A and B are shown apart, each in its own frame.
Chain A
Amino acid sequence: MIRSSSSPRPVEDNLGLIVAGPIDVQKMVAQAHHPGAGALVLFCGDVRDNNRGRSVVCLEYEAHAALASKLIGEILEEAMHKWDLKVALATHRVGKVAIGETAVVVITSSAHRQEAYAANKYIIDRIKHEAPIWKCEYFADGTHEWGNNCQCHLQTGDPAKHIYESGR
């Protein structure tokens, strides 16, 4: 969690950036309210029951926790300053996640809604493209597949360079 103060600084929360169990979304929302914020935007990435025409029974996420936490922290810090946010939170779940459960949460709070919306999209875009977090789809036919991953390298020619709808 990153929260603004007289001198903005990162503040560790008890939810973590990478967690092995269900994400407590209500608790995260409660932590994201701020007296200087008139807008709070919540994004939940939930597991759906189908992908590319195939029936999905669950997803399994794996992460390099140290690298992913470090990168997500940097993304939150950057977004805080770029959009003058009051609070920026992100948590990604690892392990098996059932249909309808939440795999990733991003919350942004700011004085006005435009900044909170823009920053939220920026943060989730970068987490999805850059953080070393991978998903394995388990299908109803009994097969599984790591994939549906970031394909930006096909256009940029560099695994470290990405293309974002939200721009950078």
Chain B
Amino acid sequence: MKIHVYAALKEHFDPEFELDGVVRDTTELKARLRALNAHAAGLLDICRFAVADGFIDADFKLKEYDTVVIIPPASGG
């Protein structure tokens, strides 16, 4: 599974990287990423996720070859 991260998440992860093994949904994905970098835990909890240019929710079933985009909160202001 390919992972793309943006903005503040790039302080914690490479902009693009791959995860091996089974990751069934965004709950499992967040757990895997927290294990990789505990400092990102708070930010990951407020991120949204997207696959194929569409936002996904917690029920979305991820597939091995999906590219998952992790979306931090927008610029606001």
Contacts and interface: CB of A to CB of B under 8 A. Distances in A.
Interface of A: 61-62, 64, 66-67, 70, 128-136, 146-153, 159-160
Contacts of B8: 134, 146-147
B21 interface: no
B3 interface: no
Contacts, number: 65
A132 B71 contact: yes
A153 B55 CA distance: 17
Given A132-B6, A134-B8, A159 B76 contact: no
A146 B11 CA distance: 9
A153 B73 contact: yes
A159 B77 CA distance: 16
Contacts of B72: 134, 146, 149
B47 interface: yes
Contacts of A130: 74
Top 5 closest A-B pairs, CB basis?
A134-B7, A150-B76, A146-B8, A149-B73, A150-B73
B71 A149 contact: no
11 contacts: A62-B7, A64-B6, A70-B53, A129-B74, A132-B71, A132-B74, A151-B73, A151-B76, A152-B73, A153-B73, A159-B73
B48 interface: yes
A149 B47 CA distance: 12
Contacts of B6: 62, 64, 132, 134
Given A159-B48, A160-B48, A150 B7 contact: no
A64 B71 contact: yes
Interface of B: 6-8, 11, 46-48, 50, 53, 55, 69, 71-77
Contact of B7 (A66, A146, A152, A153): A146
A128 B14 CA distance: 25
Nearest to A126: B74
A134 B48 contact: no
A66 B53 contact: yes
A129 B46 contact: no
